[in-house]
Amino acid sequence: MVKNIVLIGFMGSGKTSVGKALSMKLNLPYVDSDGVIEAEEKRPISQIFEEDGESYFRDKEIEVIESLSERRGWIISTGGGVVLNPENIFNLKRNGLIFYLKTTPSVIYNRIKDDSTRPLVNVSNPLERIENLLRRRTWLYEESADYVVDTSSLTIDEVRDKIIKIGGKK
């Protein structure tokens, strides 16, 4: 059985960029769980949060993750909050190896500071918000992951190659 490569981590950790790079290098299909939610809802996540709230979004996320977890041999990047529900991690682990793309708050801030589509950091002090959210979630990422890759000082290709090297050993 070919396992999925699942990327988890905070927003701005590189999940989408690394996922696409893995897809190209390994010639495997790629899917972004947030992109699937946006396509199904026909609206951006920021609008979902604004109109229906985070709990509605999290319910949709559970449905999408359950569906994506049935696939085999895919690269799956997830939303930053996927670890908030243990059901998501249970489903992702069934057919996947989970890689936590770990990044420092300052690197995250620099990567996403100009992106107004991030509802959880569209606040007056985004760096403080990032630090607070990351403080609460880090243990969940670490507990959920099969492997941890620190992306803070690596290029997309370096992260991709590290994941390929690690994934080939499992």
User: Tens of pLDDT along 102-142?
Assistant: 999 999 988 887 777 776 667 778 889 899 999 999 999 99
> Is there a contact between 14 and 101 (Cβ–Cβ < 8 Å)?
yes
Spatial neighbors of 123 by CB under 8 A, at least 6 apart, are: 129
Q: Give the domains, in start order, of the chain with CATH numbers.
A: 4-167 (3.40.50.300)
Cα-based angle 56, 59, 78 (whole degrees, multiple of 5): 110
Does this model's pTM top 0.85? yes
> Is there a contact between 60 and 40 (Cβ–Cβ < 8 Å)?
yes
75-77 and 96-102 beta bridge pairing: unpaired
User: Tens of pLDDT along 34-58?
Assistant: 999 999 999 998 899 889 998 999 9
